[in-house]
Amino acid sequence: MTSTNRRVFLKNTLAGAGAIGLAGTGLFASAKELQKMAYGGSPWLSHYPTYLAIENGLLKKEGIDLRWESFVTGSARLSAMMAGDVDLAGFGSISTMALMARGVKQFYVVGVPENFGKVEGLFVKEGINSIADLKGKTIGTAFASSTHLLVLDLIASSGLTPDKDINVINISGPEIIAAMKSGQIDACAAWTPQFNILSSMPGVKLLADDTSFSLYKEFGTTPGPDLLVVKKSYAESNPEAVKSFIKAYFQSCEVLKNTPEKAVPILKKLTNLSDAEQLQTIKGAEWYTLEQQKDLMAKDGKFVTGLQKLAEMLVTYKQLDSAPKVSDWINPNFI
């Protein structure tokens, strides 16, 4: 993996030894021996740990020289990974499952960063108090995304039919704010940072967040859980480097979980949120630790079972042609 943001610096006393870190202590190397990686990111939550680990030196301590590559969409990140331009990235499970359903085997799912159920949801104009009140009205959301699935699930759970009872149109995240202000739409589903903007918009209120999603109640599964993904060829060639990255990544998750205020000044540079909005967004997610990954990544566990149910739901709502066996891509060996 290539990367310019994370470097490990060895003191001169170790440089001559050419030490490459021991498992469990990270990679120790001279500057010219740093393990290069490329990471595909964006201002979304699942990328916070990586960005934080670059800026606070956690990756540096693990011997990783990481290059951060920004992408507007998950599909662009996936294309970059398949092309070999990035080695690791955070992805929503819906775009990841789309590749799985096509039989693409060039990647592993190696971790679960957080549960973002309270920073994604459906916003409506004042006077709308239920999904039933949206009959004959228009909802805007980004198609083939977690918010799209949330909208479809909420409509179905209310006994209504998309496009027959409620008009659902495709609007990208950055355009949703303007569409809501202009009156083009009566409601919208969005994630952070648009979630934060909508939360403070006059005449707009949150009707439902991801905790209203049908699979959340039984499996704790949001409409599109975030996943940490690594290119298979890179992982198999550099297993210790991947383990070191994951170690630093989840150390950052611990910072976000336990001392979020320390992360605010750093993450603001990525998200352009205010101090208050940034802190609220961090606290709105449940950040998972490295210790929790063994349960989350268990192939017969609750989380992976929930992902499988999600894949089957995507088929029901005609977002996928067939449901992949999600556990075939789960690889807990780098934890």
Confidence of residue 121 (pLDDT cuts 50, 70, 90): very high
Q: Is the pLDDT of residue 3 over 70?
A: no
Q: What is the mean pLDDT of residues 210-229?
A: 94
pLDDT at 19: 36
pLDDT, position 180: 98
- Closest to 126 in 3D by CA, of 176, 187, 167, 168: 187
Sign of CA dihedral 295, 78, 284, 262: positive
Q: Could you give the CA distance from residue 107 to residue 244 in angstroms, rounded to a whole number?
A: 18
Give the per-residue pLDDT at 192: 84
Residue 20 pLDDT exceeds 80: no
Q: Is 69 left (phi over 0), alpha (psi -120 to 50) or beta?
A: beta
Q: What is the mean pLDDT of residues 236-264?
A: 98
* Domains, the chain, ordered by start: 12-114+225-334 (3.40.190.10), 120-219 (3.40.190.10)
Angle of CA points 298, 303, 308, to nearest 5°: 100
Higher pLDDT, 275 or 21: 275
Mean pLDDT of 312-318: 96
pTM of the model: 0.85
How far, in Å, CA of 24 to CA of 60, rounded?
Answer: 15
The whole-number pLDDT of residue 126 equals: 95
In whole angstroms, give the CA distance from residue 190 to residue 193.
Answer: 8
pLDDT in tens, 8-19: 322 332 333 333
Q: How far apart are CA 210 and CA 192, in angstroms?
A: 13
C-alpha angle with apex 95: 142 to 210, nearest 5 degrees? Answer: 60
Position 22 pLDDT exceeds 70: no
Question: What length does the chain have?
Answer: 335
Q: Half-sphere exposure of 127 toward its Cβ, with a 13 Å CA cutoff?
A: 5
CB 67 within 8 A of CB 284: no
Whole-number Å distance between alpha carbons of 228 and 119: 19
Mean pLDDT of 198-223: 95
Indicate the SS3 state at residue 168: strand
